[in-house]
Amino acid sequence: QGILPLIQKEGMQSPAVQEKLKQMQYYDSVNLLKVEKILDEYGWLGFDKIGNMGAITLFLVIQHSPLKVQEKYLPMMRKAVKNKQAFAGNLALLEDRVALGEGRKQIYGSQIGTDTVTRKNILLPLEDPENVDKRRAAVGLGPIADYLKGFGIEWDPKAFKKQQDEAELKIRK
């Protein structure tokens, strides 16, 4: 079972969620050793070689790895999507992670953080919020409002843009 229902029920900072995240980190690090060996030897294995679940597994391991690893395999996954051997929606999530990790805004609105003051879930910086649903639809992701609802976030693109612009002004000062 995924962690999302637990986050929704208990909250991101709850001991149960934090324990689950520690477990995930451990398994991710073990899996990363195996997956890097596979990718370095064979390249990105797609649906034709390892099926849907295998392709999703490769993505998940890379998605949960350190930024340098994500950056290393991102071009490989882009090529796999271009060749219809990986899911475009999965690539979108990895693109967002890498963008944020590199200090840029995300494109598809897939990455959530926690407000350090209110402890509530927040959508992390997003490029062109007014058109995010067009970008999401192009890669097979559903509307951002539906996605964010699962994290207890109500989507209002104008309010989000205003908040984001104000935050950027504070950072520049």
Residues 149 and 110: their CA atoms lie apart, in Å, by 12
Task: Quote the pLDDT of residue 114.
Answer: 83
Task: Quote the pLDDT of residue 8.
Answer: 75
Rounded-to-10 torsion of CA 44, 48, 53, 55: 10
Phi, psi values for residue 111, rounded to 5°:
-105, 130
SS3 of 25-75: HHHHHHHHHHHHHHHHHHCCCCHHHHHHHHHHHHHHHHHCCCHHHHHHHHH
Average pLDDT, integer, range 10-24 = 87
Task: Quote the pLDDT of residue 173.
Answer: 63
Structure-model confidence comparison of residues 136 and 10, the more confident one: 136
Task: Quote the pLDDT of residue 24.
Answer: 86
pLDDT in tens, 101-137: 999 999 999 999 888 888 788 999 999 999 999 999 9
Phi, psi values for residue 63, rounded to 5°:
-55, -35
How many helices (H) and strands (E) would you count in the chain? 8, 2
pLDDT in tens, 87-98: 999 999 999 999
Mean pLDDT of the chain: 91
pTM, two decimal places: 0.85
Of 40-54, 97-111, 155-169, the one with minimum mean pLDDT is 155-169
Structure-model confidence comparison of residues 163 and 11, the more confident one: 163
Please give the share of the chain, as a percent, with pLDDT higher than 70: 98
Q: Is 11 left (phi over 0), alpha (psi -120 to 50) or beta?
A: left
